[in-house]
């Protein structure tokens, strides 16, 4: 009797024993909230990103909202983004009182279609929130040229892109606002958390106010509040997790690139023609391969495929993401099926296959064999 293969999740966080020990030291120190570890993590992130100013937060969602607030985006303004992302990308636009505007995505890269983005710009457009799906950057040069042409702020939703590059430069080391997430399944995790890259000290000071109730302190007992802030600060516990992983971020990206290449090698050149499925763009230079996603053929129901992968092969899968504009909250704002057909097709047929820092090539081969079996190849 064959022993069933161990369950293989689509994602698994990786925290070293040395980092766990450091977390224990923080717990014993008596300083648990924002303190010296947060400052050290911000400094390390700044160094990694070429000296740019970085502030940390308790999520990669509030970072985008705060960037919008720093940019002065509010009621009457429009912000263009993609309909394929975690819903937070659009929710933050509503949160500041602005109007979300979607542009359809490119069927190959699955990022914003820049032709459609430019066509969506109106006199009310004040910002763009591009998303680098699976860690794959878009054409950064063209995107920023469009932003400059129309005098738009850019809030990069680089939640999945720490360790990704554009023309050899790390994402976040150039551009306007850049938001990263350190949520549990990211290449670098602080369990929950994120950071925002800003452009100058004035924006940094405003970000600090927004992350902690609008407070400014002076002297030993001076305090003032001049903006409406929230409670978004990162803890020293979370920062310690980040400090333990950041030195390995480029090595992590390289390992994931090797895993992605092995996926392509195992699927083979004829997989798309034989199966009707679509593999991702084989970018082994820019992407950090946060996710490896395939698009199922229209004849295959995603739920059936995912169930079969789990029940017959003991392999977990996921999907990232459902089309935002078809959620009830957005339908109530006038969005309808058929408005963004590429996003709708990809949103309903995409499956995320296992990809994580400790995944090994033999597991990749196992996944590919299972995928082919489920597609009757």
- Same domain flag for 86 and 205: yes
Within this chain, do residues 174 and 205 fall inside the same structural domain, yes or no?
A: yes
DSSP bridge partners of 237: none
pTM of the entire predicted model: 0.96
Residue 138 reports pLDDT greater than 80: yes
Q: How many domains does the chain have?
A: 2
- Alpha-carbon distance of 88 to 95, in angstroms, equals 10
- Shared domain for 230 and 259, answered yes or no, is no
Q: Which of 231, 248, 265 is the last residue of a domain?
A: 248
Predicted confidence band at 4 (pLDDT cuts at 50, 70, 90)? confident
Determine whether 209 is an active site residue.
no
* pLDDT tens-place string over residues 328-347: 999 999 999 999 999 999 99
pLDDT for residue 377: 82
**Residue 352, domain extent:** 249-374
Q: What's the mean pLDDT when you consider all of the chain? A: 97
Domain contains 5: no
Q: How far apart are alpha carbons 204 and 184 in whole angstroms?
A: 26
| pLDDT at 203 exceeding the cut of 60 | yes
Give a yes or no: residue 279 inside a domain: yes
Say if residue 29 is in the same domain as residue 169: yes
Q: In terms of domains, do 67 and 186 share one?
A: yes
pLDDT of residue 213: 96
For residues 244 and 328, membership in a common domain is answered with: no
Give me the pLDDT at residue 2, please: 63
Which residue, 275, 356, 323, is CA-closest to 110? Answer: 323
Please tell me the distance from the alpha carbon of residue 160 to that of residue 279, in angstroms, as a whole number. 19
pLDDT at 235 over 60: yes
Residue 284 confidence (pLDDT) above 60: yes
Flag whether 173 is in a domain: yes
What are the backbone dihedrals phi and psi of residue 283, each rounded to the nearest 5 degrees, phi first?
-90, 105
Q: Is residue 335 part of a domain?
A: yes
Evaluate if residue 363 carries a pLDDT over 80: yes
Give domain status of residue 324, yes or no: yes
Q: Which of 192, 217, 248 is at the close of a domain? A: 248
Quote helix, strand, coil % in the chain, to nearest 5. Answer: 40, 15, 45
Q: Is the pLDDT of residue 85 over 70?
A: yes
How many other β-carbons are positioned within 10 Å of the β-carbon of residue 174? 16
Report pLDDT for 116: 98
Query: Could you report the per-residue pLDDT of 141-168, keeping only the tens digit for each?
Result: 999 999 999 999 999 999 999 999 999 9
- CATH code of 264's domain: 3.90.1150.10
Tell me whether residue 1 is in a domain.
no
**What distance in Å separates the CA atoms of residue 343 and residue 116, rounded to the nearest whole number?**
12
One domain for residues 77 and 91: yes
My answer on whether 229 and 263 are in the same domain is no
In a domain, 199, yes or no: yes
For residue range 293-324, list pLDDT tens digits in order: 999 999 999 999 999 999 999 999 999 999 99
Residues 118 and 222 in one domain: yes
What is the CATH classification number for the domain harbouring 25? 3.40.640.10
CA torsion sign for 342, 347, 349, 355 is positive
Supply the pLDDT for residue 179: 98
Banded model confidence at residue 271, pLDDT cuts 50, 70, 90: very high
Give residue 149's pLDDT: 98
So what's the pLDDT on residue 190? 97
Q: Does 128 share its domain with 78?
A: yes
Last residue of a domain, one of 248, 282, 300: 248
For residue 254, what are the CA distances in angstroms to 250, 263, 274, 322, 353? 6, 14, 30, 29, 18
| CB 61 within 8 Å of CB 262 | no
Regarding whether 147 and 137 lie in a shared domain, the answer is: yes
Same structural domain for residues 188 and 146? Answer: yes
- Exactly one of 37, 186, 209, 307 is catalytic; which is it? 186
Report yes or no on 6 lying in a domain. Answer: no
Quick check: 1 pLDDT over 80?
A: no
């Amino acid at each position: 009797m064959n022993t069933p293969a161990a369950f293989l999740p689509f994602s698994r966080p990786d925290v070293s024993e040395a980092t766990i020990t450091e977390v224990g030291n923080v717990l014993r120190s008596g300083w648990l909230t924002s303190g010296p570890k947060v400052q050290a993590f911000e400094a390390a992130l700044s160094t990694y990103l070429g000296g740019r100013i970085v502030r940390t937060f308790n999520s990669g969602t509030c970072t985008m909202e705060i960037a919008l607030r720093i940019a002065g985006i509010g009621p009457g303004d429009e912000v263009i983004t993609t309909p394929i992302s975690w819903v937070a990308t659009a929710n933050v636009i509503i949160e500041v009182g602005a109007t979300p505007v979607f542009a359809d995505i490119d069927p190959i890269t699955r990022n914003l279609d820049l032709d459609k983005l430019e066509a969506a710009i109106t006199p009310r457009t004040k910002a763009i929130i591009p998303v680098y799906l699976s860690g794959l950057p878009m054409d950064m040069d063209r995107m920023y040229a469009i932003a400059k042409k129309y005098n738009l702020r850019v809030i990069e939703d680089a939640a999945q892109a720490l360790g990704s590059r554009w023309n050899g430069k790390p994402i976040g080391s150039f551009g306007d606002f850049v938001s990263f997430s350190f949520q549990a399944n990211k290449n670098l995790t602080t369990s929950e958390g994120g950071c925002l890259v800003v452009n100058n000290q004035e924006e940094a000071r405003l970000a600090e106010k927004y992350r902690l109730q609008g407070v400014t302190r002076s002297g030993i007992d001076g305090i003032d509040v001049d903006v409406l802030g929230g409670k978004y600060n990162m803890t020293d516990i979370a920062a310690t997790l980040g400090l333990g992983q950041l030195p390995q971020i480029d090595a992590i990206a390289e390992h994931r690139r090797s895993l992605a290449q092995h996926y392509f090698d195992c699927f083979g050149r004829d997989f798309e023609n034989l199966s009707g499925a679509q593999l991702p763009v084989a970018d082994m230079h820019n992407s950090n391969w946060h996710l490896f996603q395939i698009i199922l053929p229209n004849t295959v129901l995603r739920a059936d495929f995912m169930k079969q992968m789990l029940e017959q092969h003991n392999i977990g899968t996921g999907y990232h993401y459902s089309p935002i504009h078809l959620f009830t909250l957005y339908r109530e704002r006038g969005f309808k099926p058929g408005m963004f057909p590429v996003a709708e097709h990809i949103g309903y047929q995409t499956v995320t296959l296992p990809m994580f820092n400790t995944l090994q090539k033999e597991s990749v081969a196992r996944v590919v064999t299972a995928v082919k079996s489920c597609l009757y190849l």
